[in-house]
Amino acid sequence: MEKKLKVLLIGSGGREHALAWKLTQSPRLEKLYCAPGNVGISEIAECVDIKVGDIDGLLQFAKKERIDLTVVGPEIPLVGGIVDHFENAGLIIFGPSKAAAQLEGSKVFSKEFMLRCNIPTATFMPFDRIEDARAFLNHAQFPLVIKADGLAAGKGVVLCNALADGLEALDQMMKDKIFAEAGAKVVVEDYLIGEEVSILAFCDGENYLILESAQDHKRIFDDDLGPNTGGMGAYSPAPIVTETLLRKIEARVIEPTVRGMAREGMPFKGILYAGLMITSQGPQVLEYNVRFGDPETQAVLPRLESDLLEVMLASCEGRLNEIQLKWTPKSCVCVVMSSGGYPGKYENGYEINGLNVAADGKNTYVFHAGTKKDGDRVVTAGGRVLGVVSLGDHIKDAIQSVYVAVEKIKFDHMFFRRDIAAKALKKDHIKSANAVGR
């Protein structure tokens, strides 16, 4: 009989609640700890009060509790080198090394890597001096996109339609330092037109397994209007990702990324996330992440029928070639419920009602993101508060179910988009019409 495993999951958001929920389904799990966790996670795991950036504290805990596998949710500890620390101490940890995590930690690094490996991406120019960047913008054609080089919680990307927008973005990032040192360098790149999709792949340094496709909704308002957020919802699969397109993405993006990282002495282990724009010229990489996306994870993992714990172990041990991923054909939709005012200023501490009636435990789940306990009450404690998720035989069923569940949850000043997965529904109608036409 295979040994049962103690697992430490690092993080506190909706992504980590979804990961915890999936890990608890493994017959090999003995005990799940989460640092620091959240209200939802505390119902299925033991939460420990250690911050995600406290690498020494996390390492000491893992040694003391004899943790068999550590799973890293957010990017900050990965970019900070947590994997190197754990592996140097002889511990097994799921995620990329500090060197490999530069794919997300530095836009300049990732763009120059793509250039070296001939991976399709927008034409770009890196700058570390504001004077040089301003001079470039004065002769540039708009629209352009300006990106902070470092980690900026998904908010360091600005679409600039005119010179004034570009100069303002440069001032905010490089002069006012609204993203601190993350904006010390910037990348200015061409604006790509198309539809965004997210493709994730388990990697073990040499082998990879591509997960089912997803589409995120980054803008705060319906019809993709308003400022960028960490993500207001997602769905899986994305109908735009046909078998033919997926083969192109694998050949042009995933395969050369994994091969290139290994060739440059930074073999990639863990989850590789490629944020892509599907343009008229084919798929182009907008960005890499080096961990599960949020909220894509909440839409993809409910469709995974394989044992997540076994897949993660295989990634750590370099044997993904032995694994085959199994998926339900059902569609899944995740709607994020946020605090009014997010991604700007918002207030916390509002009681959340209806959590127990919204989830049915079969096809509809509620993943906590920004919540905390106040006595017996669950209250809001973040910009993105909850991720409500439903599975359905067809995308329209999943959309209908998820919004029925969303309407059962109430808290003051709550906000959510009402058009999550609408693009998939349109494509479904077009497919059906074409089928009838034939």
Give yes or no for a contact between 64 and 6, defined as CB atoms under 8 angstroms apart: no
The answer, yes or no, to whether residue 436 has pLDDT greater than 80, is no
pLDDT of 284 over the 70 cut: yes
What's the mean pLDDT in 30-49?
97
Looking at CATH, the fold of the domain delimited by 123-190 is given as Dna Ligase; domain 1 (3.30.1490)
Q: How far is CA 256 from the centre of its chain?
A: 21
pLDDT digits (tens, 9 = 90+) for 182-233: 999 999 999 999 999 999 999 999 999 999 999 999 999 999 999 888 899 9
Domains of the chain, by residue range, sit at 5-99, 123-190, 195-426
What pTM was computed for the model?
A: 0.94
Burial of 180 (0-12, 13-18, 19+ CB in 10 A): exposed
pLDDT over 90 at 112, yes or no: yes
Helix axes 107-117, 255-263, angle to 10 degrees: 100
Residue 159: count of CB within 10 angstroms of its CB: 15
**pLDDT tens-digit readout, 358-369:** 998 889 999 999
Residue 31 pairs in a beta bridge with: 6
pLDDT category of residue 428 using cuts at 50, 70 and 90: low
Give residue-wise pLDDT tens across range 327-337: 999 999 999 99
The CATH homologous superfamily to which domain 195-426 belongs is ATP-grasp fold, B domain (3.30.470.20)
CATH topology of domain 5-99: Rossmann fold (3.40.50)
**Stretch 9-32: mean pLDDT:** 97
Q: What average pLDDT does this structure show over 343-355?
A: 95
